[in-house]
Amino acid sequence: MSTREWRSYPCQIDGHRASIFYDHGIRETIDRIAPPQLLRVGLTFKTPRPDGLSSTDELQSLIALEEGLETLVDAHDGIYVGCVTMDGHRYFHVFTSDTADSWTSRLAALGDAHDYRLFFDLRSDERRDGYWKDLFPSDDDMQVMTDSELLEVLRKEGDNGTASRQIDHWAYFSSSAAAQQFSHWVQARGYALDEVDTTDDERFCVHFFSRRH
């Protein structure tokens, strides 16, 4: 079994603000070890925030339910891989080999124990789309996570977010003329130009930067 590595990131889904929490550590093994069905367990928040995400009022209740669900899933040889929060709901993603009938009574008991009415659907998912498409971040989402983690490290080191910093950018072109044209364009928009250089693969790199507070 892979080492658990839980990560989260904000995003937009169908026009709604959303938050995704997922196991990044399982990415190397999920296609090999995950059962072939996706169990999607949902609940409706009791006191959602105006943007549809969960409120601090429900935080402890939701944590307790999630821990109970993970224990239940582990006991029946399933794999809990993460959840999606949006529009006043949370959807937990589980890979399982069991039937819908077997999960009906289990989830009813879990919901009763935590005072939530749980609903679910079960479908074949041999490609593990419930992880790769629904939970795993895009390149842009991954950049947001990396930036957020960097800001958190800076905050823990005492940075208050007011210092001015240089923001570096690199753009690559197949011709010198295109690189030079782009250089003039970024300078006209207030960016400072460092240099135009060639790379090992014979492309032209424009290095430019700005300063942000």
| pLDDT in the model for residue 152 | 65
Rounded Cα–Cα distance for residues 146 and 22 (Å): 15
Rounded Cα–Cα distance for residues 95 and 89 (Å): 20
Rounded to the nearest integer, the mean pLDDT of the chain is 90
- Per-residue pLDDT tens over the stretch 108-166: 999 999 999 999 999 999 999 999 999 999 888 778 777 667 666 767 777 666 666 77
**Residues of the chain by 3-state class (helix, strand, coil), percent to 5:** 35, 35, 30
- If you average pLDDT over each of 80-84, 181-185, 188-192, which comes out highest? 80-84
In the chain, the DSSP E strands lie at 6-13, 16-23, 37-44, 79-86, 89-96, 119-124, 165-173, 192-198, 204-212
- Predicted TM-score (pTM) above 0.95: no
- Per-residue pLDDT tens over the stretch 82-113: 999 999 999 999 999 999 999 999 999 999 99
| pLDDT in the model for residue 2 | 64
| pLDDT in the model for residue 151 | 65
